[in-house]
């Protein structure tokens, strides 16, 4: 057993590694969406992109002071590193701007791509929604600055990051000035609780499972099928096997000492099935779930013992729905029926996991993902917007963690 200092160091390394995973995934998705269909994957050098985002992470971490939001520094740093390494990331032909950039396609793909990455990363890591379409002056200011940075290879990177951070904050400041306060007075909007700022290894670390990007691409179903499911409220009598391809051993960041983790999704009135689950370290075989705005989707997290001859793990758990989707109605299940409410889980906080039965019956948490309308509507793009559900479980000493993500899309087909 290593010393306490060694354990904390290992936890910090895993935390940083998983945050970098999330950064790369968010940036990749933003860049793909900003390009004309098919062109990003045809032209990108994935290794160069990963190296650029790793550099952005280190830069942002070094620049973030006490009381500052890491997400703003990271969004700006990611955009600047992208611009600086564009020729390495796209060594052949630069993609053309895709439909999401149509409003400013004349600026070219590099400016639109940097804009998209900065916005997506800031929203993901600062837990905010930036009203980019309702604030055209702030948006144009950001794009003008990006274009200036692209045009000047000698533009100092530190100055570029500082200027972009100020631009990103400008969106929020303008939005808060427009937000109505009590009795119609102007007041700053109260921000949502930032869910991913727990102690030690925990944080945006949920992203490690997202490193498998395949779920962002497959065909989108209109509904779950009911084949092979249990019924709602039915107490599980048999284990549901892990999905095909589950590895016998995985990296530390994807494995708890003596706990199996399974995340199921299903429509209300049905129940979990083998075909509708994800697990840590396993390529999700499920088709993405689809929610309409105002829709609801039920999830169950099953935690069961791996080796009955060893004591159960002491665990903490957090659940996060990608903004502006929200997690609601979280409960600990009791013999197949909803039991005690877990409001802190709804809020994105970490909670201690109920003791896992050593005889093999899983400890089950049920929650609902809903997609409320967004005030500025920028939280959902027209068409299908990926809004994955993310789960993070850590041991009480923060030495080990497991994370899994369920692919979810929100469909917006009105006011487009």
pLDDT, tens only, 65-94: 766 788 899 999 999 999 999 999 999 999
Q: Tokens 């994800």, residue?
A: 278
Which stretches of the chain score pLDDT less than 50?
Answer: 1-11, 174-237, 248-253, 377
3-class secondary-structure state, position 108: coil
Give, to the nearest 10 degrees, the angle between helix 157-178 and helix 109-126: 60
In 3D space, the residue among 235, 349, 218 whose CA is nearest the CA of residue 300 turns out to be 235
Q: Which CATH architecture has domain 204-412?
A: Sandwich (2.60)
Q: What is the rounded CA–CA span in Å between residue 124 and residue 105?
A: 24
pLDDT recorded at residue 241: 63
pLDDT for res 242: 58
Tokens of residue 308, six digits: 């009955």
In contact, 29 and 207? CB cutoff 8 Å: no
Domain boundaries, the chain: 4-184, 204-412
Count of other CB atoms within 10 angstroms of residue 99: 13
- pLDDT value of position 328: 92
pTM: 0.47
HSE value, Cβ hemisphere, 13 Å, CA-based, for 328: 11
Query: Could you give the CA distance from residue 290 to residue 388 in angstroms, rounded to a whole number?
Result: 10
Specify burial of residue 378 (Cβ count, 10 A radius: 0-12, 13-18, 19+).
middle
Residue 244's pLDDT is what?
Answer: 55
Buried b (16+ CB within 10 A) or exposed e, 272-284: bbebbbbbbbbbb
124 near 26, Cβ under 8 Å? yes
User: Rounded to an integer, what distance in angstroms lies between the CA atom of residue 304 and that of residue 308?
Assistant: 10
């Amino acid at each position: 057993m290593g010393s306490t200092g060694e354990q904390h160091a290992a936890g910090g390394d895993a935390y940083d590694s998983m945050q970098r995973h999330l950064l790369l995934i968010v940036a990749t998705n933003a860049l793909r969406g900003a390009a004309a269909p098919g062109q990003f994957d045809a032209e990108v050098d994935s290794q160069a992109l990963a190296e650029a985002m790793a550099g952005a992470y280190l830069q942002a971490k070094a620049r973030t002071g006490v009381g500052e939001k890491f997400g703003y520094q990271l969004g700006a740093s990611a955009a600047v590193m992208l611009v600086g390494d564009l020729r390495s990331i796209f060594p052949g032909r630069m993609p053309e701007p895709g439909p999401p950039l149509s409003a400013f396609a004349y600026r070219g793909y590099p400016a639109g791509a940097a804009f998209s990455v900065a916005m997506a990363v800031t929203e993901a890591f600062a837990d905010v929604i930036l009203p980019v379409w309702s604030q055209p002056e702030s948006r144009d200011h950001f794009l003008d600055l990006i274009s200036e940075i692209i045009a000047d290879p000698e533009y100092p990177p530190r100055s570029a990051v500082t200027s972009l951070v100020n631009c990103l904050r400008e969106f929020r400041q303008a939005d808060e000035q427009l937000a109505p306060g009590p009795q119609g007075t102007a007041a700053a909007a109260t921000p949502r609780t930032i869910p991913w700022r727990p102690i030690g290894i925990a944080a945006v670390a949920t992203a490690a499972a997202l490193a498998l990007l395949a779920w962002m691409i497959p065909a989108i179903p209109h509904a779950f099928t009911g084949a092979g499911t249990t019924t709602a409220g039915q107490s599980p009598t048999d284990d549901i096997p892990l999905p095909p391809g589950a590895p016998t051993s995985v990296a530390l960041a994807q494995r708890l000492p003596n706990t199996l983790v399974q995340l199921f999704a299903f429509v209300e009135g049905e129940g979990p099935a083998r075909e509708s689950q994800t697990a840590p370290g396993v390529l999700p075989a499920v088709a993405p779930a689809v929610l309409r705005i105002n829709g609801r989707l039920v999830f169950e997290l099953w935690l069961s013992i791996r080796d009955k001859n060893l004591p159960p793990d002491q665990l903490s758990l957090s659940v996060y729905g990608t903004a502006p989707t929200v997690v609601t109605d979280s409960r600990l299940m009791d013999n197949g029926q909803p039991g005690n409410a877990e409001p802190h889980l709804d809020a994105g906080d970490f909670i201690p996991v109920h003791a896992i039965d050593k005889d093999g019956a899983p400890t089950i948490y049920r929650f609902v993902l809903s997609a409320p309308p967004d005030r500025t509507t920028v939280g959902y793009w027209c068409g299908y917007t990926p809004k994955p559900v993310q789960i993070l479980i850590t041991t009480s000493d923060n030495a080990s963690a497991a994370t899994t993500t369920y692919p979810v899309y929100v469909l917006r087909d009105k006011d487009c």
